[in-house]
A and B are shown apart, each in its own frame.
Chain A
């Protein structure tokens, strides 16, 4: 087995994403385990300067093309497919983030490679890669192996601390040309910046977060009162935002923001991986959920199996009484 391990470096709007360093840390481990080099692949336009930060890899392949200026999954997969055919890596770690989603599957279909999605950990066992994957909204974990090279590993955020993927070393950078249309077929017209919103939930000491278990928009007022009693703000998981019960500026998780309040009180949130990604680092997480198997209890410090609506009024009164 001589194929390299590749890490597809994610950069967006001129910056390397945290997941790039997480992937490098994990990629380093498995490349060393297999005794093969670790190579980072950086795609973009006029961002060669970013390659210098990828020093945990033994080397970097940089592809510069105007069609790669913005994240277009099709163009990126096209570019990677050309490289893969030429260099035949053993496996590629491709981020499963909202910037890179789709690239892995497109590439795999193009080069006839297997895909392993939702990977949260990867290791070498008897000379082959085994991936631990999170399925069914966090309720099941599967250990999976890919049959055939190159394995396209869709890596979820949080596999390793990003700091483990940083290095002072300057890697050798090789610039490689690919053939792409001048512009992607799908054109970015504009970025839509988030509305500032009335409250910046990334700056709060206390966040009361509501999920599907809150059941109705009317119940939000009660949760808001509890947040007020605790001196914090209200935020939510994807279903609550999709229902239009809370604005996008209050969304925690993959598409929203990552938060690290001193207290994160999760009410009726099951804890899908997309949500956990945005709040797992809070030092005190308390979760209330009626399902004892809810994955939120895997990251919570304190868990309560109850209907969130049964807990909110009592907890509010208790806190208010204490505060006087």
Chain B
């Protein structure tokens, strides 16, 4: 089974985010980038599929700071081939990024002929689109999102995918291949890979470079960010300070007052 995984880097929200001076975007100077979490799950699901029924896992990523580490780590985990789209405009919106992915896939026959495209169902910066639905429309393939399990059918021509609904209810779907799946979570948590294996991957593998499509996405429907702000954190909560013992006593007092103890 030939599997293509699309990965994007997003700001690490564990770090403090700063707004750019124009007030319309993030200040990228000190931004730490990490891989979109559900893209990491998409990779894991791809590796699980390969382990079960054989095949090849190709990872395609947009260039961004630290993306090389993510790609070498993908190799160390078991990906066969890693590619990076270079030379494009950084700071693409999700819709533009999805367009770049679609054009690159469309222009390379070995990418276009894969059995399934897996990518994260959503990212924290998906303000103007989700990647998987855009891609499915551009490539003319069916789309299923919020997927948490993928199994290749006996025939090899379809997968059975489990997707989440709400209240813990899930649905089992038959998806004919080729298809685009938006992965919410892999069947198992993304595997850990030791640094030594990543270093070995850096020596044994090369990241293939793909040029970003030059033709701008003319007529891309646009949105305009008028302003960005950080929500007033703790304007709502009453903050309790002190040593753990002191705070515990305060909390116990609140719980008692409310008849909870």
B252 contacts partner chain A, Cβ-Cβ < 8 Å: yes
Cβ contact within 8 Å between A192 and B171? yes
* Chain B interfacial residues counted at CB < 8 A: 84
CB contact under 8 A between A322 and B261, given known A118-B126, A186-B175, A291-B14: yes
A257 contacts partner chain B, Cβ-Cβ < 8 Å: yes
Q: Give the contact stretch, choosing among A59-67, A84-92, A160-168, A292-300.
A: A292-300
B249 contacts partner chain A, Cβ-Cβ < 8 Å: yes
CB contact under 8 A between A115 and B129, given known A109-B138, A244-B189: yes
Nearest-neighbour CB distance to chain B for A322, whole angstroms, equals 6
Task: List, in ascending order, chain A residues with CB within 8 A of B144's CB.
Answer: 73, 186
- Give complex CA distance A50, B121 in Å: 30
CB contact under 8 A between A205 and B133, given known A190-B171, A257-B168: no
* Chain A interfacial residues counted at CB < 8 A: 94
B17 contacts partner chain A, Cβ-Cβ < 8 Å: yes
- Give complex CA distance A191, B162 in Å: 9
| Interface residues of chain B: helix, strand, loop or mixed (majority) | mixed
- Give complex CA distance A293, B17 in Å: 10
Interface string of B101-134 (1 = CB under 8 A from A): 0000000000000000000011011111110111
B195 contacts partner chain A, Cβ-Cβ < 8 Å: no
Task: List, in ascending order, chain B residues with CB within 8 A of A295's CB.
Answer: 231, 233
B170 contacts partner chain A, Cβ-Cβ < 8 Å: yes
- Give complex CA distance A242, B55 in Å: 25
Task: List, in ascending order, chain A residues with CB within 8 A of B61's CB.
Answer: none
- Give complex CA distance A242, B127 in Å: 24
Q: Give the contact stretch, choosing among B82-90, B198-206, B220-228.
A: B220-228
Contact of A297 among B224, B233, B258 (CB under 8 A): B233
Nearest-neighbour CB distance to chain A for B43, whole angstroms, equals 14
Nearest-neighbour CB distance to chain B for A280, whole angstroms, equals 11
Task: List, in ascending order, chain A residues with CB within 8 A of B244's CB.
Answer: 306, 310-311, 314-315
Q: Give the contact stretch, choosing among A28-36, A128-136, A169-177.
A: A128-136
Nearest-neighbour CB distance to chain B for A236, whole angstroms, equals 13
Cβ contact within 8 Å between B182 and A102? yes
Task: List, in ascending order, chain A residues with CB within 8 A of B2's CB.
Answer: none
Q: How many A-B residue pairs have CB under 8 A?
A: 274
A2 contacts partner chain B, Cβ-Cβ < 8 Å: no
Cβ contact within 8 Å between A73 and B228? no
- Give complex CA distance A280, B260 in Å: 19
Nearest-neighbour CB distance to chain B for A22, whole angstroms, equals 14
Q: Which residue of B lies closest to A149 (CB)?
A: B221
Task: List, in ascending order, chain A residues with CB within 8 A of B234's CB.
Answer: 292, 297-298, 303
Cβ contact within 8 Å between B185 and A242? yes
Task: List, in ascending order, chain A residues with CB within 8 A of B174's CB.
Answer: 186-187, 189
Task: List, in ascending order, chain B residues with CB within 8 A of A206's CB.
Answer: 260
Q: Which residue of A lies closest to B174 (CB)?
A: A187
- Give complex CA distance A110, B185 in Å: 27
A251 contacts partner chain B, Cβ-Cβ < 8 Å: yes
B184 contacts partner chain A, Cβ-Cβ < 8 Å: yes
A53 contacts partner chain B, Cβ-Cβ < 8 Å: no
Task: Give chain B interface residues in 203-247, CB to chain A under 8 Å.
Answer: 219, 221-240, 244-245, 247
Cβ contact within 8 Å between B134 and A109? yes
- Give complex CA distance A298, B230 in Å: 11
Nearest-neighbour CB distance to chain A for B52, whole angstroms, equals 19
Contact of B237 among A139, A238, A297 (CB under 8 A): A297
Cβ contact within 8 Å between B17 and A188? no
Q: Which residue of A lies closest to B184 (CB)?
A: A255
Cβ contact within 8 Å between A143 and B169? no
A14 contacts partner chain B, Cβ-Cβ < 8 Å: no
Cβ contact within 8 Å between A301 and B130? no
Nearest-neighbour CB distance to chain B for A310, whole angstroms, equals 6
Cβ contact within 8 Å between B221 and A114? yes
- Give complex CA distance A298, B237 in Å: 6
Cβ contact within 8 Å between A192 and B247? no
Nearest-neighbour CB distance to chain A for B113, whole angstroms, equals 19
Interface centre among B17, B168, B170 (most CB of A within 10 A): B168
A304 contacts partner chain B, Cβ-Cβ < 8 Å: yes
Contact of A302 among B130, B165, B240 (CB under 8 A): B240
Interface string of A261-285 (1 = CB under 8 A from B): 0110000001000000000000010
Cβ contact within 8 Å between B128 and A263? no
Nearest-neighbour CB distance to chain A for B197, whole angstroms, equals 21
- Give complex CA distance A140, B11 in Å: 12
Contact of A108 among B126, B129, B224 (CB under 8 A): B129
| Partner-B contacts on A (CB < 8 A) | 12, 70-71, 73-74, 77, 97-99, 101-102, 105-106, 108-110, 112-118, 130, 133, 135-148, 185-194, 205-206, 230, 238, 242-244, 248-249, 251, 254-258, 262-263, 270, 284, 286-287, 291-295, 297-306, 310-311, 314-315, 317-319, 322-323
A-B pairs, 10 with minimum CB distance: A194-B168, A303-B237, A114-B221, A105-B133, A318-B248, A314-B244, A300-B237, A109-B137, A192-B170, A255-B164
What are 12 A-to-B residue pairs whose CB atoms are below 8 Å? A106-B143, A116-B128, A117-B128, A118-B126, A140-B17, A140-B230, A142-B229, A186-B174, A192-B172, A297-B234, A311-B248, A319-B255
Additional A-B contacts beyond A12-B165, A109-B133, A310-B244 (13; CB < 8 A): A102-B132, A108-B221, A115-B128, A140-B26, A140-B229, A185-B142, A255-B165, A257-B168, A270-B13, A295-B233, A302-B254, A306-B244, A311-B244
